[in-house]
Amino acid sequence: TVVSLKVDSVPFYLQWIDTPGYGDQVDVRQGFHHIVNYIDKLYERAMEVEMAAVREENRAFEHLGVDVILYFISPHRLKELDLAMLRMLKGKAAIIPILSKADTMTTDELRVFRREVSTRLREQGIETFREPMAIIASPYVVKNAQGESVIGREYSWGVSQCERDSDLPALRRVLIAEGLQELQRSRRRYYEAFRAKKMREMRGNLPSRMFGFALRTALQTLVLAGAVYALHQGAERTGLYEKLDQLR
């Protein structure tokens, strides 16, 4: 999904790539690999464009890749499934953990859960672009206690406002304002790491490719020599050489 908006009168385009059905498969690893392979394919495409004989004038390859992964975590518990996926995404792109449905937790529960997620990720060696951000999202416009129209959710105890009661404004600033250049530098860093790894693999495979080429060449030479020898033997058996001498 491509979203068009303006930031300080400057046109801005965001491409969101959703993953519906993630984690619903019997073998969840299949979903893991689909996501990781998608990111790798973008980096591979960037390498192809960058290393082409005629490079694109607009340097489009610099924009291929994923700027940031917003990984949504269910409220109250961080599952082993989440940690397994985040370990696979580590080193692929900048990661921002999102504590979803933050209005289903009390202030104390949210504080404890945020600390727990940060600790578990650090223990797993999973680097994040920002600390976990608690988000409330809603498609509804409701009236708050002051009678103002706000985006949020209405409960029996009151109204939960997306802008006031969650990290949504901070997340917006990270994505399209103060954190944008840092995200772009981060994407470039992850791409360069991917590129360096691929180049090492290509150099590592070079001796085996050269050996394969030499072996094929040797086999072709042997086949050709065998064919010439067979023709020679056949000519001797049929007296072809003697007949040619008589003709001369």
- Cα separation, 95 vs 244, in Å, equals 81
What global pTM score does this model have?
0.76
Phi, psi for 6 (deg, rounded to 5): -120, 135
CA distance 46 to 67: 14
For residue 30, give its domain range.
2-200
Number of structural domains the chain divides into? 2
Clarify whether residues 127 and 186 are in a common domain: yes
d(CA 227, CA 180): 67
Residues 48 and 130 in one domain: yes
> Mind listing the pLDDT tens digit for each residue in 64-95?
788 999 999 999 989 998 999 999 999 999 99
CATH number at residue 121: 3.40.50.300
Do residues 181 and 233 both lie within one domain?
A: no
In tens digits, what is the pLDDT along the chain, a chain of 248 residues? Answer: 777 777 777 777 778 888 876 666 666 677 788 889 999 999 988 888 877 766 655 555 556 788 999 999 999 989 998 999 999 999 999 999 999 999 999 999 999 999 999 999 999 999 999 999 999 999 999 999 899 999 999 998 899 999 999 999 999 999 888 888 899 899 999 999 998 998 888 777 655 555 555 556 655 555 555 554 555 555 455 554 454 455 55
Query: Among candidates 92, 111, 90, which has minimal Cα distance to 102?
Result: 111
Q: Is there a single domain that holds both residue 177 and residue 215?
A: no
- Rounded Cα distance between 196 and 177, Å, is 30
